[in-house]
Chain A
Amino acid sequence: MDLAFTAEEQKFADDVRAFVKANLPADVRDKVKNGKHLGRDDYMRWQQALGKKGWLVYTWPKKHGGPGFTPAQRYIFENVCAEEYAPGIIPFGTKMVGPVIYTFGNDEQKAKYLPAIRESTVWWCQGYSEPGSGSDLASLRTKAEKQGDHYIVNGSKTWTTMGHWADWIFCLVRTDSKAKPQEGISFLLIDMKTPGITVKPIIMMDGGHEVNEVFFDNVKVPVANLIGKENEGWTCAKFLLANERLGIAAVPQSKRGVEALKDIARAEQEDGKPLIENQGFAEKIADLEIQVTALEFTELRVLSQMAQGGQPGPEVSGLKVRGSEIQQRITELTMEAVGEYAAPYLPGLLWQGTNEAPVGPEYAHLAAPRYFNTRKTTIYGGSNEIQKGIISKMVLGL
């Protein structure tokens, strides 16, 4: 065991930083730094720059066109990007469907889909949850019936993040309604331009449009778009979920969040002194920072095990639980730090990018929307109760 970075790893960190500084568009960096909402094009410009360098799919092995980073490099890459205010990489192509395709897909599918994911020329979204199937994902009912060389898909998906920007959707569909729930599911790729698909926005508590409902009405999908074998999609589904859960621990983002919280606590005054000098509040921040550090090292340990063994195991569920709780805690303390000026709701500034001047300090109007938005983290990607169920069954054998 050696906790220090080698000279080579230090050099790598410098290279990543230089690359981000040179290639991250200044307007995108400013938006991330100031907590503004990003548009599709903002993400795409950054991701395409990473794609040219070969780093967009930084978790992929070399044989599928990834850079083959070591766990240490992966950690450095994520942290430097976060420190330099790069937008988070959209995971649907890079961390979700991409690895499914290179693990379970055929050569033709790999050739067709992987380059566009590596270069970020196609935007993917995730068709998992349905109105009746959340925690009990295997009960899903969106149906795909085979007719000749096509499937006819009917049903609906929900909570489809950024579905309104997507070119393609990967879906879990039911191909056998008589089998056990897990044994009648298939993994299907669907072009969002196919006739019969409707995307309807779901407006969130913070007023934003981030998630959608997606409806399928007799949508014709070529059989060639099936990944893996028919009725064996649950294997792909679980494989993908483990990757998803590792990603949403969001440690680098939380580290950045703690720093932003400290900046606010330095700027806010209480009885003529910076809030951060309030012993009680400083202890809350310290406690949070200790939790982030503990999670960071736990994640590093998982990553280093993966470097030897490949896929993440059930222990990633624990990372998801702690990561999501920490994300929520950051937003709670930020609300506390901002105080009364968290109350104004400024949709123009928040959503439409207008020049509406902030009320109070610039950072204040973001505190409440983020607090509301972050309630989702303990629910999405499998609720924390589901994650704990997985740990108790798979790790503890209860």
Chain B
Amino acid sequence: MDLSLSDEQKQLQDAAERFVRDKYAFENRRKIVATDRGWLTENWTQMAELGWLGMAFKEEDGGYGGGPIETMIVMEQFGKGLVLEPFLPTVVLGGGMIAAAGSPAQKEALLAPMIEGKKQFAFAWLERQSRYNLADVSLKATKEGNGWSLSGHKGVVYNAASADNIIVLARTSGGAREEKGLSLFVVDGKAKGLTRRDYPTQDSLRASELTFDKVSVGADAVLGKVDAAFPVVEEAVDRAIVALCAEATGCMDAINAATLEYIKTRKQFGVPIGKFQVLQHRMVDCFTNAQEARWPARDWKCSAARSHVIRLVADAIALMNGGYLKLLRGR
């Protein structure tokens, strides 16, 4: 067992750290949040040039032969600056599902331009009643000539407004919440019959409610096998959870560092507040939790344990920084 990073992985880590330091100072982030789309083309192009959009894909798919570890390395650094470019929906989810289930033609038409930074994706699976059950899908796709017709609603679809294509999880057969009978469709972001309601999210990303009213797609829009999409989705979502955990780990590190600095400099009762044992112990808990959060993420099953740890840290940090948390939001 070896938990250390290779030289190449360390270089990747350094490059991502530099990117976040240069582009995501807090005031810069506020400016990006205020733009129309909520992310910057120049940043996205730079990510493509640095090879980050293709690093996790096989060479025969046009990628650079890395895997989830590379994704985590980059996401961890993104977490330090809360990067806004849609890496997760486009690369991890969209790209991940196309790589896993797409035909050679789909990979060429979708994955190759994505790796070059020329296409973006969104993944529409959630519905009002779905909660956390990936199979609780009722948006229907019915046969229509050679192709399909999609009708129904999808909610909280991240990056839908910027996406060239939306990958839609639809029910092609089976009853409510049945894993069998689900299929994936690649739908043009501007398809006729597709309407969007766009909004920002609490963390300043962008998402949309989507209504599909008899949206027609060809037979070639099906990603993978009809009725058999569930395992593809499950694996892509697992990878996305791990990527999000890595992002949260980076976020925790950044906040821990800021808090540590603060309790060393903020004085009350004539001493830095870090001299008080009650705060020392809380800071130690935050530090230990962040340590614990780091490596389990590489085992996918540990993501639940991580999210618990992450919340513990967030609560403790809120306390020590007191009202200064208000500074963390860019409005």
User: Which positions in A face B, CB cutoff 8 Å?
Assistant: 132-136, 139, 159, 202-207, 211, 268-272, 275, 328, 339-347, 359-360, 368-369, 372, 375-376, 378-379, 383-385, 388
Contact = CB atoms under 8 A, between A and B. Distances in A.
B202 A342 contact: yes
A139 to B, nearest CB: 7
A136 B322 CA distance: 13
Contacts of A139: 268-269
B50 interface: no
B156 A270 contact: no
Contacts of B197: 359
A339 B132 contact: yes
A342 B126 CA distance: 13
A159 B325 CA distance: 13
B177 A159 contact: no
Given A269-B129, A359-B199, A340 B322 contact: no
Given A269-B131, A272-B177, A359-B209, A346 B199 contact: yes
Contacts of B200: 344-345
Given A342-B202, A379-B322, A385-B278, A270 B133 contact: yes
B48 to A, nearest CB: 27
B331 A203 contact: yes
A211 B327 CA distance: 13
A379 B268 CA distance: 15
B176 interface: yes
Nearest to B322: A379
B131 A268 contact: yes
B201 A345 contact: yes
Interface in B308-329: 315, 318-319, 322-323, 325-326, 328-329
A341 B323 contact: no
23 contacts: A134-B268, A135-B269, A136-B268, A139-B269, A202-B326, A203-B326, A205-B329, A211-B323, A270-B132, A271-B177, A272-B129, A275-B131, A339-B131, A339-B132, A344-B200, A345-B199, A345-B201, A347-B331, A359-B197, A360-B128, A372-B202, A383-B319, A388-B278
Nearest to A346: B199
A328 B311 CA distance: 13
B319 A205 contact: no
A340 B328 contact: no
Task: From A135, A341, A345, A368, name the one whose CB has the most chain B CB atoms within 10 angstroms.
Answer: A345
A340 B270 CA distance: 45
Contacts of B176: 272
Given A134-B268, A207-B331, A385-B278, A344 B207 contact: yes
Contact of B126 (A202, A275, A340, A372): A340
A271 B326 contact: no
A251 B317 CA distance: 26
A347 B199 CA distance: 10
Q: How large is the interface on B (under 10, 10 to 19, 20 to 34, 35 or more residues)?
A: 35 or more
Contacts of A133: 268
Task: From B131, B202, B276, B328, name the one whose CB has the most chain A CB atoms within 10 angstroms.
Answer: B202
B326 A205 contact: yes
A204 to B, nearest CB: 5
Contacts of A360: 128, 155-156
Contacts of A340: 126, 130-131, 155-156
A339 B133 CA distance: 12
B136 interface: yes
A204 B326 contact: yes
Contacts of A136: 268-270
Contacts of B156: 340-341, 343-344, 359-360
Given A359-B197, A379-B323, A343 B202 contact: yes
Nearest to B317: A375
Contacts of B201: 343-345
B69 interface: no
Contacts of A378: 319
A385 B268 CA distance: 13
Contacts of B20: none
A343 B241 CA distance: 16
A136 B272 CA distance: 12
A103 to B, nearest CB: 28
Interface string B194-212: 0001011111100101000
Nearest to A389: B278
A271 B176 CA distance: 9
B131 A207 contact: no
Contacts of A342: 202
Contacts of B101: none
A383 B130 CA distance: 40
A136 B129 CA distance: 49
A375 B177 CA distance: 37
B279 interface: yes
A211 B199 CA distance: 26
Interface in B174-206: 176-177, 197, 199-204
A375 B132 contact: no
Given A135-B268, A136-B268, A345-B201, A376 B131 contact: no
A275 B325 CA distance: 32
Nearest to B197: A359
Contacts of A134: 268, 322
A360 B128 CA distance: 7
A207 B331 CA distance: 6
Interface string B252-276: 0000000000000001111001001
Task: From A133, A202, A211, A359, name the one whose CB has the most chain B CB atoms within 10 angstroms.
Answer: A359
A384 B278 CA distance: 11
B321 to A, nearest CB: 9
A205 B204 CA distance: 12
A142 to B, nearest CB: 16
Contact of B279 (A206, A270, A346, A385): A385
Task: From B204, B278, B322, name the one whose CB has the most chain A CB atoms within 10 angstroms.
Answer: B322
A8 B326 CA distance: 48
A191 B106 CA distance: 71
A271 B319 contact: no
Contacts of A159: 323
B50 to A, nearest CB: 29
A51 to B, nearest CB: 32
A270 B131 contact: yes
Nearest to B331: A207
